Each structure stands twice: as structure tokens, then as C-alpha cells.
Chains A and B, each alone.
Chain A
Amino acid sequence: MITLLLSSTGFFGFLSLFLVGALGSLLCMRRDALANYVGNSFAALGSLGALVFSFVALTSGRAPTFTLPAALPWLNFSIHIDPLSAFFMMVISLISVFCSIYALGYVRHFYGTYNIGSLGFFFNVFIASTLLVASAHNALLFLIVWELMALSSFFLVIYEHKQKENVEAGYLYFIMTHTGTAFILMSFLLLFRATGSFDFDTIRASGAMISPLMASLIFVSALIGFGIKTGIIPLHIWLPSAHPAAPSHVSAVMSGVMIKTGIYMLVRIGFDLLPHTQLWWGFLVITLGAVSSIFGVLYALAEHDIKRLLAYHSIENIGIIFLGLGSALVFAALNQPTLALLGLVAALFHTLNHAIFKALLFLAGGAAVGQVHTRNIERYGGLIRFMPVTALCFLIGAMAISGLPPFNGFFSEWLTFQALFVGAALSLPTKMLFVVAIAALAYTGGLAAACFVKAFGAIFLARPRSEAVSHAVEATFPMQFAMAMLASLTVIVGFCAGKISLMLAGVATSMQALSGAALPGHFILAEVSVREGFATLSMPAVLAVLLMALGAIGLLTAILSRKQCVTTGPTWDCGTALTPRMEITATGFSHSIIVVLRSVLRPTRQSAVEYHDAALRYFPKSRSVHFATPDVFLALYRPISRGMTRLSADVRRIQNGNVNAYILYIALTLLILLFILAW
């Protein structure tokens, strides 16, 4: 049974479900409802199949391998699902199962305005290609499915093409992702030059042929190329505009798992394919991680578009993953595979956790946006009364992403801290980098909590600040189901953290650089103990202590105040009529933090006053303050874009429409080629 499942039949079985979903929804595109059901239920089925496949592959310890020959030299359809691939496939399919189920309900509000058939087509292609990215074992095949993933997600980003900013976001994404592909191509070509092969197995086996300098070159170009996909600062500029532009269930897949394919390849290249791990690779990755986590969360705080806010939090969490990854690289370079394993397990665990809670938050946020029809959280308020289930799910996601116990986010942040603590005990210059990273991670946790108090408070609490909120109704059943499942996963994964760490250690030790290493300390369900009792933590105990404390206090108040009654009354209004305008807004909430950090964030502020008597200016009619925090990293790109524009203008000069000139160019090119050949 397992053999059949893990054969190419099983693999192409679930892939063909996506194909049926893609073509089926295209065929049914005249009937919106039918296209929705066909597209999304086959996506859900295919993801479910992929989930079973990858889970069995991961737990059975087998690594399914199959190759289909292709007509081109070097390119073969080589699939090899080792534990790392299986783990990433599992994360991808786990999230896409629930996102597809959610889509069954969510897509309904596009009926009549957009083409449901093409949405289903691109969504199926997108999930299938993302799964293929994680399983391809040949660089050329990888590039093909990578492009397929980039293109299908590009079409999903510009799906709501009637809004101009979505198309602009799509173009930015298109340009950035292809810049990334260029760097990825370069790193693969360099690998080919050194080892003479595009096949990952051959490259791994011929690591001795790669010189240290070449390894560094490959690593840096891979870091840039895959860094663009992960959205690490300063390569993130496409992410906060592209993720919000896509429909919410697509944003959840993009933010939850697509950007993780970059992490997957960085792990693959850094720990599996490349020899000669250098210390500075780790330092670079840690620095990028610290900068991304801090700036990601700060820009999220400044944001009041709910989906952009969540997108900036993805940057923050990728930063946290990079902190674990970077410390693993440092320890690998120091020849400490046990400690490197700790860092890598932390990074992989946070990858899993972030996928779960970020998808949950995008789905819950999307449900709210679908009812209130705006992404601006200043126009929400009090939604908890109209959408209680969505509110609860968002709250659980918010606590998990803020790293609060007993949810899953806490455990992976704790494990990342442990990896960084090891570095804090090293000798001096190295130590300070780790200590600064620890401080960055601590501040990130605090700021993320502040940001989610802001987001949850502004969306769900207090009184409605717009008419649309009071017409909102609870999300439909498929949407509620998907959100509730993901919300319970945050608790379950947190509870089983010890077991899951062990499983991830199995994944990480399948990497060449870490083979044979064992996790430092012991990891069981009841207790996780790192480095011979240096740090112990029991997630079940934390949950139990919290529940017992809640129970005890509930009992105490029930006994002490058994005779007291509760009456409802208006909020204290200082004697004036209470209006929604008196509540704190999201901008107001985060204003103090932004003002404190104004020297780095450089917020802009424009105020305008309109007068009844323009000449005398005694009686103001209206005042407005426009407060914005533009992304300072955009400034890095301005010289590049100006240079490109100038270069294009210069290049245009050679295109003068004169046929004789073109013939001259051809002749010159031929001459130069001849000279080169003769040399």
C-alpha cells in the first residue's frame, strides 16, 4: 500500500487532480458556481493527496525517487522526495487544503464580476507548481516549475484587474521575481561550471570540485535570488503590495507557503549542496534576519491596510526564520553539527508555525474584508459582535504570531532564542552579533504583540466606525471550517512541540552537512530539554498551568461574588455624547511608537486647514492631517530605476529605423564573433 502510494503513480495521481481542477474550472467558466466547486474541490482533493503522500514519505523514512527521461540534454524530469522535500511539501499541502476549502465559500463574492474559471485554473496550477518546486531534483526542471509558480502567482496577483493598483503591484512582483530568477540561474550555472551537472545528487556528490571562493559566489547569488522570493529586507519591496492584491485565499498560500520555497532552497543549497560553509555566510544571514524582523514589524505597525499589515508580518517572520538559519550556518562553519541542527530545527519549526498562523490570519482577515469591503482597518470596529467565529480565529492567530504561550509561535521563537543563546556564549566579536540578534528578537516579539493588539482592537473591538460593519454577517461554513481547523492547529502544534522537533531533526539530518548529528538535549512530548538541561520547557505543562490558574480563579470569583449582579450601562463619556470618532484608531494607536522611532522610520506628516473666510483665516471649516510612514528601503531602488530608464533611453538611440544601420550591426556582430573564434 505504502509502496504504491509512494510510487510515481501516487505522485502523478495527486498532480493530475490539480490538472483536472485547472482544466475543469476553465471548461466550466461560463457557470460561476460550477467553476468554483470544480476548481476548488479538486484543489482541496489534490492538496489532501499531497498531504497524505508527503506525510507518509516523511514518516516511513523512504525517499521516493523517479525520473522521466526528456528529449533535452541535462534536463530530465527528476523527482526525489527526501525528508526535506517531504517536509516542505507537507507544509504546502497542509495550508492549501484549508485555503481551497475556504475558497469554496470565499470565491462567491467574485461571482459576476470576475472570471471564476481562470481563478480556479491559476490557483490549481499555482499549488501544483509550488509542490513541484519542493520536489524537483534537477536544476533545470526546478527553474521550469519555479517560473510556472511565479507566472501563475503573477496572474493571481492581478486577478482583480479592475483595480489599477493591483496591476501595478503585479508588475512590480513580475520584475522583482525575474530579477530573482536571474540570480538563481546564475547560482545554478556556477554550480554547473564547478561540477558539470544540473542534477542535485551529482552536485552533492562532487562537492569537492567546488572551491571555497566559488562556494561563496554561489551562496551569495542564491541568497539574493531566493531572498527576493522570501521577501527579506531590503529585497522585500514587491511583497507588501503583491500579497494584498491577490484574493485572500491566494494571499494565504503566497504568504504562508510560497515565500517558504525560498527558505527551502536556501536550506538545500546552504546545508546540502555546498561544501566549505563560511562563517560570514551565517553572519550575513543573521544580520539580514535581525534587520528584517525589526523593520518588518515596525512597518506593520505603521500600516492600516489589514492585508499589507499581514504582509509586513511575513517579512518579520521570515526574519525570525533567518535568525535560526543564520545561527545554524555559523555553527556549521564552526564544525559544530549538533548546534547547527538546533538552529536549523528552530528555523524549520518557525517555517511550519508561520505557515499555519499566517494562513489563518489571512483567511480571517479576508473574511472580514469580504463583509466590510475595505482593507482600511480605520473603517472597521466592533466586528466581534457580527462575526464572532472569525474574531475568535483571528485572536488565536494574533496570539500565536505574537509568540505568546501556549500557542505554537512561542515554541519556535523559544527554540530560535536557544540557538542564539549558544552563540552568545562564544568569544567576543561573534558574541555581540548574537546578543544584538537576541535583543532584536525580543523587541520583535513585543512590537508584534503591540501590532496585533492594534489590529484586533481596531477591527473587532469597540463601536463600528462605518456603516458597512453593522451589515456584516458571519462567514459561510467552509470558511469557518478552514479557519477553525487552522486555529486548532496552532494549539495542537504548540502542544506536540517536542515530538515535532524530533521529526524536524530527522528532516534536518538528511542534509549532507548535518548527517549523523543528534539534537542537543532530549526532546519528548512532555518536555524539551536543550543542551544537557541548559533550558527545559514543557509546552503541555505551560498549557496545563494556565488552564488550572484560570479554573482556580473562576472558582474563586464564583464563590466570592456569588450574590452580585451585573448590569449594563453606557461607557463613561465625560458628559458628552459618545461617538465612534472618540475611539482610538489604528494610526493613533501606533503613533507613539512611530514617533519614538521617527529618526529611522522618517514618517511624513501633512496638515491642511480649510477656512470659511480664506482671506482672514479666523474660522476653520475643516482640518486634516495626513500621516504616512513610507518604506525607507524604496529609496535604495530609486537610483536603480532611474539608471534603467536612462539606459533604455540611450539604447533606443541605436534603433533609428535605418535598414542600412541594422545591416551594419549584423556585420559588426559577425566580425566580432569571428575574431573571438579565431582567438
Chain B
Amino acid sequence: MHITLLWILQIVFIPALSPFAIGLTRLIKAKFQNRKGASPLQPYRDLWKLFHKDEVVSEDASWIFAFAPYVVFGVTLAIGAMIPLVSTVLVTGLAGDFLVIVYLVALGTFWLALAGMDTGSAFGGFGSSREMMVAAFTEGGLVLSLLTLVLLAGTTNLTGVAAAVAGLPFADVASVTLAGVAFVIAMLAETSRYPFDNPATHLELTMIHEAMILEYSGKRLALMEWAAANKYLIFISLGTTLFFPWGMAHTLGTGAIALSVAILLLKDALLCAAIATLESSIAKLRIFRLPDLLFTACILGLIAIGLIA
């Protein structure tokens, strides 16, 4: 397969499939709740509908509110192009560094929180406050869990890490497992899932992400929703390619790439199912219990690095 085609595949993979990942997770949750559930394609229809609706913007909002959806979505688009997905061939020294990805995520969060404060609604402000609290306390666990893999692999480039983790000796399994648990905790926090946030609620006492985007409508709401879906699939794919890196194509052969896409889709679907199962079996935590969980992730990361010989 031509390298340009592979790059196009890499770039469109996240935005094209992220609504499906959300739809699939919702469907599995519906089954747990004994509901029939909407088709996994429903999020695509929702986005299409929102893009064709007129928009109402608050009279208190400034250009920050208008511009934020583009930044928040653009950041996920950029990250989607940088993370390891189907092939280890696409190693670029330009921007695949794990700190770039962590800090780009922070850039998106920064703008999302600003947008939440811009309309002067009580919901938006509290959503931003909670989001920044969760995001700030997540940072340590996320960096340390990824750093464990980075130190084992000997490179900070995530595609390089994915290629190296598959060949690690068995002695490192404890470190990788601990880092994996820390990553899952950080992932749930970053993607606004249980037990941190309830993605299906509009109840003001519990919401974080939904509170910040409450004032959005039309195309900007579509961008915000789509960006959240992208972030979800980005973290799912990072989890599967970094901690279960088997099946990535090492060559440019069309067959190898097709197989690797199929394996990645399967792994991502399984992780979606796991998250849906987790969300159906645990309760949301009180907001002041969340930092305990996030500090646990940081401690796990510390131990994981300590265990590296």
C-alpha cells in the first residue's frame, strides 16, 4: 500500500470511527439495562442533524465561545494523526512524542473549560471548575503510566513504544500491568466516563463535560460532541495499541495493513465493551472521592517505574 494512502487512513481513522465507538458503547449499555438501544450509527445521524441546524449563541459570549469548538476538535484531529494505530511504519520524529500528546490533550481541555465559563451560566462555570480539577489531578498518573512504557521501550515516540512493547521480556509484565491500570484510570477521567462523569446525564449535580457544552447548539455543538467522541476513541486506541500491541503491521503490504485494521477494530470494540460493562456495574463516585482514585493512578505509576530493573 502506498505510504500516502496509509497516512490518509491514519488521519481519518479517529474522526471517522469515533461516533461508532460511542454508539457501540451506548448500545452495549442499553443491553445491560434491558433496553433495545439505538443503532451504533445513531451518533452519525445526530452529528449530521446538528450540522444542519441553526445556532443560538448567548449574548454574553465572546469570540472564545465561538472559536473554542474549532480548537477542541482540531486538537483531537491532530492527536489522531500522531498516535500509533495500524502500522509501525508511520514513525515520524516530528510530533509523535508522548508529552506532545499529553499536552495537546491539555490544550483542548483548556479551551473547553474557557468556553464553559464564557457564557456566564452557573452550569458552565461549575463544569469548568470540576473539569480542570479532574484534568489537573489526572496529569500525574497519565504521564507516569506512559513514562513506564517509554522507559521500557527506550523511546518517547508512542509509535516506537507500541513497536517495542510487543517484544518486551516477560520480566517486565508487572510494570506494564501496573502502568496499564494507571492508564485505564486516567483514561476514564480524561474521557469523562464512569466513575468520574456521567456521559448520559443532564443533571446539574453530576455533570462535568455536559455542563461545559450546555450553551452550544448547531454546528458548534456537533463539533464539541464529535471532539468528545474522538477523544474517547483516541484513548481507547492508545490503550489497545500500547498495552496490547500485537497485530500492528510492520510492512506496507495491503494484506498486512488490512489485517492490522481488522485486529485494531476488534481490540477497540472489545475495550469499548469492557468500558460499557464497567459503567453498567459501578456507581459514579462523589466528586471529592475522585482525586483519591487519581492519586492511586499516580502511585501505581511510581511503583511501575520503581519495578523497572
| Residue B237 CB within 8 A of the other chain | no
Q: Which residue of B lies closest to A596 (CB)?
A: B291
| Residue A593 CB within 8 A of the other chain | yes
Q: Which residues of A contact B154 (CB under 8 A)?
A: 534
Number of contacts between A and B (CB, 8 Å)? Answer: 273
Q: Which residues of B contact A569 (CB under 8 A)?
A: 56-59
| Residue A473 CB within 8 A of the other chain | no
Say which residue of B120, B128, B138 sits within 8 Å of A578 (CB atoms): B120
> Chain A interface mostly helix, strand, loop or mixed?
helix
Q: Shortest beta-carbon distance, B84 to chain A, in Å?
A: 15
Residues of chain A at interface, number, CB under 8 A: 85
Say which residue of A461, A568, A570 sits within 8 Å of B64 (CB atoms): A461
Q: Contact at B144–A545, with CB atoms within 8 Å? A: no
Q: Which residues of A contact B157 (CB under 8 A)?
A: 535-536
Q: Which residues of A contact B61 (CB under 8 A)?
A: 571
Q: Which residues of B contact A564 (CB under 8 A)?
A: 51-55, 218-219
| Residue B163 CB within 8 A of the other chain | no
| Residue B62 CB within 8 A of the other chain | yes
Interface residues of B in 78-127 (CB under 8 A from A): 78, 81-82, 93-97, 99-100, 102-104, 106-107, 109-110, 113-114, 117-126
Q: Shortest beta-carbon distance, A228 to chain B, in Å?
A: 29
Q: Contact at B291–A399, with CB atoms within 8 Å? A: no
Say which residue of B82, B120, B129, B306 sits within 8 Å of A431 (CB atoms): B306
Q: Contact at A424–B56, with CB atoms within 8 Å? A: no
| Residue A546 CB within 8 A of the other chain | yes
- The 8 A CB mask of A507-532 against B (1 = contact, 0 = none) is 00000000000000000000101000
Q: Contact at B120–A463, with CB atoms within 8 Å? A: yes
CA of A443 to CA of B297 in the docked complex: distance in angstroms?
Answer: 13
Q: Contact at A546–B78, with CB atoms within 8 Å? A: yes
Q: Which residue of A lies closest to B132 (CB)?
A: A450
Q: Contact at B135–A584, with CB atoms within 8 Å? A: no
Say which residue of A381, A535, A580 sits within 8 Å of B155 (CB atoms): A535
Q: Contact at A538–B298, with CB atoms within 8 Å? A: no
Q: Contact at A404–B110, with CB atoms within 8 Å? A: yes
Q: Shortest beta-carbon distance, B14 to chain A, in Å?
A: 11
Interface residues of A in 561-614 (CB under 8 A from B): 561, 563-573, 578, 580, 582-584, 588-593, 595-596
- The 8 A CB mask of A287-330 against B (1 = contact, 0 = none) is 00000000000000000000000000000000000000000000
Say which residue of B138, B155, B219, B287 sits within 8 Å of A557 (CB atoms): B219
Q: Contact at B144–A438, with CB atoms within 8 Å? A: yes
Name, among B63, B78, B214, the residue most crowded by chain A CB atoms within 10 Å (CB to CB): B78
CA of A453 to CA of B195 in the docked complex: distance in angstroms?
Answer: 24
CA of A527 to CA of B96 in the docked complex: distance in angstroms?
Answer: 12
CA of A595 to CA of B129 in the docked complex: distance in angstroms?
Answer: 13
Given contacts A443-B136, A462-B117, A553-B74, whether A567 and B57 have CB atoms under 8 Å apart is yes
Q: Shortest beta-carbon distance, B167 to chain A, in Å?
A: 17
| Residue A442 CB within 8 A of the other chain | yes
- The 8 A CB mask of B176-187 against A (1 = contact, 0 = none) is 000000000000
Q: Which residue of B lies closest to A557 (CB)?
A: B219
Q: Contact at A592–B133, with CB atoms within 8 Å? A: yes
CA of A399 to CA of B67 in the docked complex: distance in angstroms?
Answer: 15
Given contacts A439-B301, A538-B93, whether A592 and B71 have CB atoms under 8 Å apart is no
CA of A563 to CA of B132 in the docked complex: distance in angstroms?
Answer: 35
Say which residue of B82, B117, B144 sits within 8 Å of A584 (CB atoms): B117
Q: Contact at B95–A461, with CB atoms within 8 Å? A: no
CA of A454 to CA of B57 in the docked complex: distance in angstroms?
Answer: 22
Q: Contact at A550–B70, with CB atoms within 8 Å? A: yes
Q: Contact at A554–B106, with CB atoms within 8 Å? A: no
Name, among A431, A463, A583, the residue most crowded by chain B CB atoms within 10 Å (CB to CB): A583
Given contacts A449-B109, A571-B119, whether A557 and B136 have CB atoms under 8 Å apart is no
- Between A and B, 9 residue pairs with Cβ closer than 8 Å are A405-B103, A443-B140, A453-B114, A546-B78, A549-B74, A566-B218, A570-B60, A571-B120, A588-B126
- Residues on A close to B: CB < 8 A? 381-382, 384-385, 395, 399, 402-405, 410, 414, 417, 421, 424-425, 428, 431-432, 435-436, 438-439, 442-443, 445-447, 449-450, 452-454, 456-458, 460-463, 527, 529, 533-538, 541-542, 545-546, 548-550, 552-554, 557, 560-561, 563-573, 578, 580, 582-584, 588-593, 595-596
The 10 closest A-B pairs by CB, nearest first: A584-B125, A462-B120, A536-B93, A446-B139, A446-B136, A457-B117, A450-B132, A541-B94, A549-B74, A535-B156
Q: Given A546-B75, A569-B56, A573-B121, list of 16 further CB < 8 A pairs?
A: A414-B99, A439-B302, A449-B132, A462-B60, A533-B93, A550-B74, A560-B51, A560-B219, A572-B215, A583-B117, A583-B122, A584-B117, A588-B125, A589-B125, A589-B128, A592-B129
